[in-house]
Amino acid sequence: MAISGYVLVALSDAPDLPPDLWVLLAAMIGLFVVAHFAVRRLAPRATPVLVPLAAFLNGIGFVMISRLDRDLARTQAIWTALGIIAFVATLFAVRRVRDLERYRYTFGLLGLLALLMPLAPVIGRTVNGARIWVKIGPAQVQPGEAAKVLLVIFFAGYLAEKRELLGAGSMKSGWVFRHLMPLVAAWAVSMLVLIFQKDLGTSLLVFVMFASIVYMATNRIRYLLGGIIVFLASAAIAYRMFDHVRARVDIWLDPFADAQDRGYQLVQALFAFGSGGFTGTGLGLGSVDKIKIPAVETDSLFVVIGEELGLLGTAAIVIAVLMLAGAGFRVATTSRRVFNKLFAGGLTTVVAIQAFVIIGGITRVIPLTGVTLPFVSYGGSSLLANWIIVALLIRMSDEAANDAEASIDELAEPAVPV
């Protein structure tokens, strides 16, 4: 509740906005309150920190989008509403996540389809060089966002079943290999994504998700190391084979070499971060209206935050993501069922790594790849998927608390907020 209050304050801190935006703002705050009460009713024992953290990120993103473009803000408000509806619906529909586990192969297949859908003719769309969009009727969606969730269900379900086999070192290697086949397939898929969709970010995300779930399932560091080596090797090959991969890496190594063209986005991002400094220029007082930054409302929204809210704003977001991840991993560790552990760990990893990939990319920690910043960036698919992820984590948090109480009464300790 306290954090909810903080979120309200953070949101109302926005500058003098036109009247219709006050309506939007009120609607946003109302939505988060709805989400909060949905949790109280549908998952009363769940950790209370997840919704406020997600709402904080969603709210900051909304304020920044409002500052950039009021029409986009309206759309984002609608998407947020849909996200909250999806959140409540998920809480309502998924009473036990093990129901999802049962359909893991179906979900896996759906996830695969969703991931590869943009490659299909007619409906696939290439935007900003990445073929990750699907146009169905008037709506343009990124099925990759849904694929994340679906694939985590599959990985978690599959590994919950096979982990004994993979974890047992005594098994014959052929035996292990056969059971690893679906995972090898997943790796192949991530490479396909990399090659055909020119989408480094999603590829990296799928791969990290897969490697970390395997590791969490088996506690065998060799899978993790093996995965990393394979990925680095594939990346090295991709660097040699594909121009767009090489370009990304070259820009990362020296963005100023081509500051006006290919390095423009990163160079402008670095300048904006520097100009923002510790406290930022103040909301609405940055130069984003005058200096165009590519993908400013999605991939580069963090740059605007960096310039206008300074290190205070950017660090707040990173810390919020960190707290969100902390809460997610706590759900994983407090869960009793193996599937829940892997599912919660996997979902949390996906959200955290996605945040790392985009923030790290735009701050030149790693090569820049276009993925959205969870909850913050403009984009319906991403919002929807992330709110569903939070709903699932809350469901599992509630389950964990119930399970704990059911088994050992005296040690029952509901998950306490950090």
Partner 1 sequence: MNTPIRRVGYVVAGLMVLLIAQLTYLQVIEADSLANDPRNVRALIRDFSRARGDIVTADGEVVARSIPSDDIFEWQREYPLGALFGHVSGFQSIVYGNSGIEREYNRELSGRDPVVRIQSITDLSEVFVDEAQTGTVVLTMTAQAQQLVRDALGDRRGSIVVMEPKTGAIVAMYSNPSYDPTPLAGHNTQTVQDAYTLLNLDPAKPMLPRAYAEIYPPGSTFKIVTTASALDTGTATPDTGFPVVREIDLPQTSNTLSNFGGANCGGSLFESFVRSCNTTFGLLGLEMGNAFVPAMDRFGIHDRVPIDLSNPGPSRSLGPAPDSFAENQPEFAYAGIGQGLVATTPLQMAMVAASVANGGLAPTAHVAGQILDARGAVVRTMNPGPWRRAMSPEAAAAINEMMVAVVERGTGRNAQIPGVTVAGKTGTAQVDGDRSPHAWFVGYAPAENPQFAIAVLIENGGEGGDEATGGRVAAPIAANVLGQLLATPPR
Residue 270 contacts partner 1 per CB under 8 A: yes
Q: Cβ neighbours of residue 125 under 8 Å, at least 6 residues apart?
A: 118, 131, 133, 134, 135, 140
DSSP 219: -
- Residue 367 in contact with residue 72, Cβ under 8 Å? no
| CA 203 distance to own-chain centroid | 13
Cα 1 to Cα 4, 153, 319: the distances in Å are: 5, 30, 19
Give 393's contacts (C-beta < 8 A, 6+ positions apart). Answer: 50, 327, 328, 331, 344, 347, 348
* Residue with Cβ nearer partner 1 (11 or 266): 266
Write each residue from 239 to 268 as x if it is in contact with partner 1 (CB under 8 A), else as -, in one continuous string: -----------------x--x-------x-
**CB-nearer residue toward partner 1: 163 or 198:** 163
Beta carbon nearer to partner 1, 310 or 367? 310
- Tell whether residue 108 is a contact of partner 1 (CB under 8 A): no
Count of helices and strands (H, E) across the chain: 16, 3
Residues 15-74 that bind partner 1 (CB under 8 A): 15-16
- With CB under 8 A as the rule, give the number of residues binding partner 1: 55
What residues have CB less than 8 Å from 106, skipping those under 6 apart?
none
- Residues counted in the chain: 418
Closer to partner 1 at the Cβ: 107 or 339?
A: 339
213-242 residues in contact with partner 1 (CB under 8 A) are 215-219
- The set of residues, in sequence order, having a beta carbon less than 8 Å from that of 260 and lying 6+ positions away, is none
Site string for partner 1, 183-212 (x = CB under 8 A): -----------------------------x
Beta-carbon neighbour count of residue 255 at 10 Å?
20
Q: Are 294 and 267 in contact (CB under 8 A)?
A: no
Among the residue ranges 25-33, 99-107, 234-242, 341-349, the one whose residues contact partner 1 (CB under 8 A)? 341-349
Which residue in the block uniquely carries the two structure tokens 């991969």? 245
> Least separation, in Å, of the C-beta of 248 and partner 1?
18
Contact 169, 126 (CB under 8 A): no
User: Cα–Cα distances in Å, from 310 out to 76, 250, 281, 304?
Assistant: 23, 27, 7, 9
Q: If binding is defined by CB under 8 A, does position 275 make contact with partner 1?
A: yes
Shorter beta-carbon distance to partner 1: residue 80 or 340: 340
Task: Identify which range of 49-57, 84-92, 286-294, 384-392 contacts partner 1 by CB under 8 A.
Answer: 286-294
CB of 359 to partner 1, least distance (A): 5
Q: 151-170: which residues touch partner 1 (CB under 8 A)?
A: 163
Give the Cα separation of 356 and 373 in Å (integer): 9
Residue 353 Cβ, how far from partner 1 at the closest point, in Å?
7
Taking residue 94's Cβ as centre, other Cβ atoms within 10 Å add up to 17
Give residues 291-330 in contact with partner 1 (rule: CB under 8 A). 291, 306-307, 310-311, 314-315, 318-319, 321-322, 325-326, 329
The CB-side HSE value for 356 (13 A sphere, CA atoms) comes to 14
Burial 120-130 (b: 16+ CB within 10 A, else e): eeeebeeeeeb
The residue from 232, 277, 407, 408 that contacts partner 1 (CB under 8 A) is 277
Smallest separation, CB 210 to partner 1 (Å): 13
Tell me whether residue 139 or residue 416 sits nearer to partner 1 (CB atom): 416
Only one of the segments 91-99, 118-126, 228-236, 280-288 lies at the binding site for partner 1 (rule: CB under 8 A); that segment is 280-288
Of the pair 92, 264, the CB lying nearest partner 1 is at: 264
The identity of residue 147, as a single letter, is A
In the bound state with partner 1, the residue whose beta carbon lies nearer, of 58 and 348, is 348
Q: Which residues sit at the interface with partner 1, rule CB under 8 A?
A: 15-16, 163, 212, 215-219, 256, 259, 267, 270-278, 281, 284-285, 287, 290-291, 306-307, 310-311, 314-315, 318-319, 321-322, 325-326, 329, 332-333, 338, 341, 345, 348-349, 352-353, 356, 359-360, 363-365
